[in-house]
Structure 1
Amino acid sequence: MDLFNSTVAINYNLLPHGGTVNYFGKLFSKKEADHYFDALMNTIEWKNDEAFIMGKHIITKRKVAWYGDESYSYTYSNKSKTALPWTKELLELKRISEKQTGQTYNSCLLNLYHNGDEGMAYHSDDEKALAKNSAIASLSFGAERRFLFKHKQSKETVTLFLEHGSLLVMKDETQTNWLHRLPPTKKVNRPRVNLTFRTMMV
């Protein structure tokens, strides 16, 4: 299924079965999206991501940050992070995401991809610390990037572009049945900031 350059209704489920993914498109004007992109680049406490995979300590070029209502601990790839207090812009974006999706979120994992060389392999956001089948709201700022879903059993794929200032929501059993990734590309030489608002079990 290919959704390149298409306008998709907000209530349209991009997945054929086994989960729900809605693409809201651009929520902001270019001026507003540029403002948030600049603010996030300059106010977030970015750090290179770390992971322990098959006994090896890996430090990525991609940078990450973890924020929340409280100092939640979040562990993935055998590495733990402690949430920082919200910034002004993050709180604004959290409220906007909650209003658009009708959900509430208590934390946010941010990723900074400096260019198209940096991406993310297929994975599911199904860590035990996250509320099961809870919604994840994904905001994108900066370079437009291709985003893929792949069903864990049937291997069906869904592809779309995430635009500057756009919102994507993954919910219901999406993380149980589907993987997602951000593939590297030589066509992009600008940075992208991605925010994933989540619900930690407390």
Structure 2
Amino acid sequence: MFGPDPGMGASIGGMASTSATDGTVVKTRQRPRKSSAGYDTTRLFIGSEGTLGIITEITVKLHVKPKKEFVNIWLFPTIKDAAATALDIISKSGLKLNAIEIIDHTMASFVNQASGDDAKKFLETPTLIFKVGGNDENAIHEQVKIIEKIAKNHNLIRYEESHNDDDNQILWAARRNGLWSTFDFGSKILEDKNDVQIWTTDIAIQFQIWPPSSVKPMMT
């Protein structure tokens, strides 16, 4: 399977051009290894948003699709608690989750308002949504235990687990429908219902090593 789960309308070329996910562009005449001569053309093109040229060929790395995959949602009192949990899972737990998404209380409220009367309603609070995969359910539950321990250190309110594919679709809907729910909300409150405009962006986190050492700050 292709690792990232992009939003609707995303393309592999678009993700490479905006550096929205990992990838390697081939046939860009990279500079020789162990040489400082010339530009690293591949990394120059990634993130250039089409201003340097058109990417015509991309090689992507695929992952073995897990035999089992469940979706969990984890609820927190603040966005800071949710973000700190995600950071600890990525940097300290050793887990390789299939997906990690975060939504704030506003986005959760938009999803609830846009869903039907019979649809699941989400608690309107900062939420982490995980896809956890493994060879069997026991392997998944072991990962969930580790996540739970980390989340409790950051004021976890509660969490929900899926148990089948239908549950997966219901819980993942909060992430999948977020953008369109925002669009729907705008069409309800604006005087001109056709004047809904959305700008999307990604966030970057800078890690500063303190006290200062020979290690330089890095962007991720």
**What band does the TM-score fall into relative to the shorter chain?**
under 0.3
Higher helix share goes to which structure?
Answer: 2
After TM superposition, the score normalised by the length of structure 1 is: 0.24
| TM-score, with structure 2 as normaliser | 0.23
Higher relative contact order (CA 8 A, sep 6+): 1
Structure whose residues are more often strand by fraction = 1
